[in-house]
Amino acid sequence: MTTATKTDQCFNGLFSSFHEEAARRQPAELTALRDAAFKQFCATGFPSVREEEWRFTNVAPVERLSFELAKPAAGEISPDQVSLAGVRGLDSHEIVFVNGHFSAELSNLQKLPQGVIVCSLAEILREGGNKTVSAELGRQTGFDKSAFQALNLAFVSDGAFVHIPKGVVLADPLEILYLSTGGDQPTVSFPRNLIVVEEQGQLTVLENYEGVNAGNTYLTNAVTEIVVRAHANVDYYRLQCEDPGAFHFGSLQVQQEEQSNFRSHAITLGASLSRNDLGLTLVGENCEGTLNGLYMIGQKQLADTHTRIDHAVPNCLSHELYKGILKDDARGVFNGYILVRPDAQKTDAKQTNKCLLLSPTAQINTNPQLEIYADDVKCTHGATIGQLDENSIFYLRSRGIEEHDARCLLTYAFANDIIRRIKIEPLRNQLEDIVLVAQDVKAKPSTLEVK
């Protein structure tokens, strides 16, 4: 059976019924765009390991399944479950989606400042859209280069639309929480987020994906587009804690205008197979962009991260630090690409990938890349792969720390280089606890007694 036949069986019937219904309640221009995206997906099918961008990540387990569109299930989720799934102790504005569908009763958006829009994308589309959505939706994520982005656009239905007006600072963080319940049959959802921060605006946002019924098989195919206008500041956090039987494909595309600042922290912990594509384009001078990330996986998990930073104009800075912790039979992929265009003089770009292998069967494929067409630049990149330093373990044991705790302390220190950069204190504390639980540590390092 060919890939095309599998694709038809899996999605063609779903798209026919979905497309017909969506066309009645969404703008005509979106209907045409959605139709073109699905035709592109059908023409190319899922990516294969013969493609350079996917040669270490085999999506055959996804192709073999027949999915149903995930249905609204807000009634199956209690407010207590939302509290447990979200970041505990975080005082935030919160918009909640269950199986990709907005839940007004589970969301908390009553205290938004005047002029700030945080709402369901489906609601905007039902009302005929607005100028910002019409101008920006799909502009950064061309469906001709990514099968999963094409599939997301073909089935675009709901997600978060966030608009921060000029000069407005959203003081409290915004949490976009996606909960997936799965079902008796494999299900698929297509979250779509559009975030626009106007000039001199400021936003801290946490995009959180979690499963609430461990063991269910489902696919989350998510796309987020962010526009950072001149002099705006955005802190973006992405937490992926899907169920062990889930598949997750996420794409983030960001455009920065002059003198803006964007900082991203992506944490990958869940799903049996996950892929995270992050693209950052600096189109205005004197921008600063940061991409940080941590992937911590075990068992037979596979986590694939591809980043692309495009320096299109002069006098911009970018910083990138990704770390991976792999144990058991886990496999990781990191591909970091920095492009410096001919006009982008005075570019300062740094990229680092560090991986820690805690077992002899864990694997990582890392490929940092620089492509430079300007001559007055300062660019560095590098990757390191290794195990825990035996000399450091010996030093800690000589101070009375048991070998297990010594190894856990060093692993914690490795991860904490990323975690300490997180400005949201409840999130930082929660991630510290997750790292310690994964290492079977009973207390935080600061409370361990050195004899």
Q: How far apart are CA 51 and CA 143, in angstroms?
A: 17
Please choose, from the candidates 110, 120, 107, 106, the residue with its C-alpha nearest in 3D space to the C-alpha of residue 78. Answer: 106
The closest alpha carbon to 292, from 410, 413, 422, belongs to 422
Cα separation, 144 vs 19, in Å, equals 19
Say how many CA atoms lie within 13 Å of 378 toward its Cβ.
7
In whole angstroms, what separates CA 18 from the centre of its chain? 26
Q: Rounded to the nearest 10 degrees, how much is the dihedral formed by the CA atoms of 238, 244, 245, 249?
A: 20
Res 327: pLDDT = 95
Stated as kind and residue range, the H or E segment containing 204 is strand 202-211
Strand boundaries in 358-418, DSSP class E = 363-372, 378-386
The Cβ of residue 17 has, within 10 Å, a number of other Cβ atoms equal to: 10
The number of helices, as runs of H, and strands, as runs of E, in the chain is 11, 21
Q: Which DSSP state fits 169?
A: B
Rounded Cα distance between 154 and 196, Å, is 22
Q: Which two tokens stand for residue 404?
A: 């297990």
Contact 208, 239 (CB under 8 A): yes
Which of 318, 450, 356, 314 is closest to 395 using CA atoms? 450
| CA dist., res. 282 & res. 292, Å (int) | 17
Which pLDDT score, from 0 to 100, does residue 139 have?
A: 84
By the 8 A CB rule, do 221 and 189 touch? yes
Partners of 206 in the β-ladder? 175, 237
Closest CA to 304 of 333, 338, 337: 333
CB burial of 265-285 (b: ≥16 within 10 Å; e: otherwise) equals: bbbbbbbbbbbbbbbbbbbbe
Rg (CA), the chain: 22
Structure tokens that stand for 437 in this block: 């639980």
AA letter at 137: L
The stretches in the chain having pLDDT less than 70 are: 1-9, 128-129, 214, 439-451
Q: Is residue 46 within 8 Å of residue 147, measured between CB atoms?
A: yes
CA–CA separation, 121 vs 98, rounded Å? 14
Token couple for 32: 């045409």
Give the whole-angstrom CA distance, residue 362 versus residue 86: 30
Q: Kindly report, residue by residue over 362-408, the tens digit of the pLDDT.
A: 999 999 999 999 999 999 999 999 999 889 988 888 988 888 888 88
CA-to-CA distance for 178 and 102, rounded, in angstroms? 9
Give CA separation, 217 vs 96, 114, 180, 213, 425, in Å.
Answer: 21, 41, 10, 10, 32
Total-model pTM: 0.93
On whether the CB atoms of residues 289 and 262 are closer than 8 A, the answer is yes
For residues 48 and 278, give the distance between their C-alpha atoms in angstroms, rounded to a whole number: 20
d(CA 410, CA 405): 9
- Nearest Cα neighbor of 208 from 255, 253, 269, 141 is 269
Beta bridge partners of 350: 319, 380
Residue 332: burial class (beta carbons within 10 Å; 0-12, 13-18, 19+): buried
Give the number of other CB atoms < 10 A from CB of residue 122: 21
pLDDT score of 2: 42
C-alpha separations of 119 from 25, 160, 203, 295, 316 in Å: 17, 6, 15, 30, 33
The answer to whether the beta carbons of residues 208 and 236 sit under 8 Å apart is: no
